[in-house]
Chains A and B, each alone.
Chain A
């Protein structure tokens, strides 16, 4: 035992430069990640500025209980869930469909151009996307309303960004527009790894190209699809892997669509930062994190039972 420690110490001294190099990064991790995790304890304390995180008094589950009696929270939870669920259902399959379609293309150059185009919206800032959305959906000058009016679908301009019943779908649409191409990269790379002999075998057996796609390509990328599904469900409350819920709700939320656009993240920001109720907001954030973790574990379990694919 002693010689083991002595050995390790000697090794450590030999590697001193390596440890010296990594020290600033470790310090950074502790400061910017572990101190906030430690600071989460204010969810169980009454945080007061003067007393600091350590000095503030413990109050147990007071804030957690308060969440369940908060009259405003119910609508916020419904909005968060509604927006999140329609994104899992409609936004998640889009990149898979796109990747399958791109894979069926027989012109390599066209395929490359198409791919480049598909990533394009990913590189915009959410503020730019939201600003453009106000222009597209403008009731007076936006091309969406202009077009729908001129072909007679609408009789009068529709307030896409003001109508509460439209907001979740606007949020979904912007999410799909921005992220479909980017997320398809993962599926395309999974498709690229499929053994070409599988297709040859399918063709010999008389499969059409569409049948090959359904019977060869799709089952071959199923492990990737399942892992992405697990990750998406784990990040569901954020609006999927692109965390679009907060960005869209915060940037495009206004007094008209507020009944459906207000979600947990905007609520935490408003209550915590603007109203200064740090402890209460932190406990709402913590609860959301815990629910997300449970969703991730449940999705992992479900995937394991269904297909034997595991994320962990």
Chain B
């Protein structure tokens, strides 16, 4: 096979495809790369613009400053906590549901299944959900990050299709040995379910890490700040400044830039890079799992 494609002649068709995909790759990567360049440049120099491929004045000061910021620490701790706690609980919750539903002979099985499936098509929407969270007394509490995100039918379907593909003998032999269902699920089934756990774990973890709307809607305290939500505030200040910039011209622009320290842009880019780092480093290794996960989801859905 390998020899085969080495011996082939490359037609103009191949070259066109490769060229098209290289352009695509540049369009995907360059905008992010450009932001990384900014994060390694000094703030005052970045204001001169025309930074493309390499920092003009290299510095690590932006990163040092961001990492020493107390609010950044708080946000990082909250983001890590909500991600770890919710991911673990969601895997337990989802697998338990899927385990029960994947037993065909269970009384009420169809009812349980239907209760889950309906949630894929109907939801109360923003306002009733907000009222529920308020009535549950979860406003401005850390657990508002955890409870509403513990289960998701799409993920449950991934687990169900994995469990129904397992040999039935596995469970039967354990039953003969006197194991109850709890033991069977957590001691026998879960240890061999790494592919689906990895896929669902990644989906939940990324969702949690990137979530900002719940922080904005449900919390007020600074002690509940999360990384992804921090950027929302930065956007509003950025836009305010940009608007001001357009209303003045010439020398006063320089003045305004100095007064407002728009150079925080480089700090923001450093914060952005630190926040995105864990996910970007992790996802290539879990690629084969989530590809399978999406495929199963799309077939069943």
Interface residues of A (CB under 8 A from B): 8, 11-12, 15, 17-19, 21-22, 24-26, 28-40, 42, 47, 53, 98, 101-102, 104-107, 110, 114-121, 123-128, 130-132, 134-136, 138-143, 146-147, 150, 159, 161-162, 177, 181, 185-186, 189, 208-210, 224, 227, 231, 251-252, 254-256, 265, 268-269, 272-273, 278, 281-282, 285-286, 289, 293
Contacts and interface: CB of A to CB of B under 8 A. Distances in A.
B96 interface: yes
14 contacts: A19-B100, A21-B96, A32-B151, A102-B21, A114-B25, A127-B232, A135-B35, A135-B268, A138-B265, A141-B265, A147-B52, A161-B242, A185-B291, A273-B127
Interface in B92-120: 93, 96-97, 99-101, 103, 105-108, 112, 115-116, 118-119
B131 A39 contact: yes
Contacts of A268: 125-127
B147 interface: yes
Given A15-B105, A126-B212, 19 more contacts: A8-B107, A15-B106, A18-B100, A19-B100, A22-B96, A22-B101, A32-B148, A33-B123, A101-B20, A101-B21, A110-B18, A116-B284, A131-B238, A134-B242, A138-B265, A140-B257, A147-B52, A189-B291, A224-B298
Nearest to B97: A25
Contacts of A269: 126
Nearest to A210: B13
SS of A interface (majority): helix
B127 A32 contact: no
10 cross-chain pairs, A with B, having the tightest CB-CB distances, nearest first: A36-B124, A39-B128, A125-B210, A127-B231, A36-B128, A285-B125, A17-B181, A141-B49, A125-B228, A282-B127
Interface in B4-41: 5, 8, 10-11, 13-14, 17-18, 20-21, 24-25, 27-29, 31-32, 34-35, 38
A272 B127 contact: yes
Contacts of B27: 177
Interface of B: 5, 8, 10-11, 13-14, 17-18, 20-21, 24-25, 27-29, 31-32, 34-35, 38, 46-52, 93, 96-97, 99-101, 103, 105-108, 112, 115-116, 118-119, 121-132, 136, 147-148, 150-151, 180-182, 185, 206, 209-212, 217, 228-232, 234-235, 238-239, 242-243, 245-246, 253, 257, 265, 268-269, 272, 275-276, 279-280, 283-284, 287, 291, 294-295, 298, 301
Given A17-B181, A32-B132, A36-B128, A128 B275 contact: yes
SS of B interface (majority): helix
Residue with the greatest number of chain B CB neighbours at <10 A, chosen from A32, A38, A115, A147 = A32
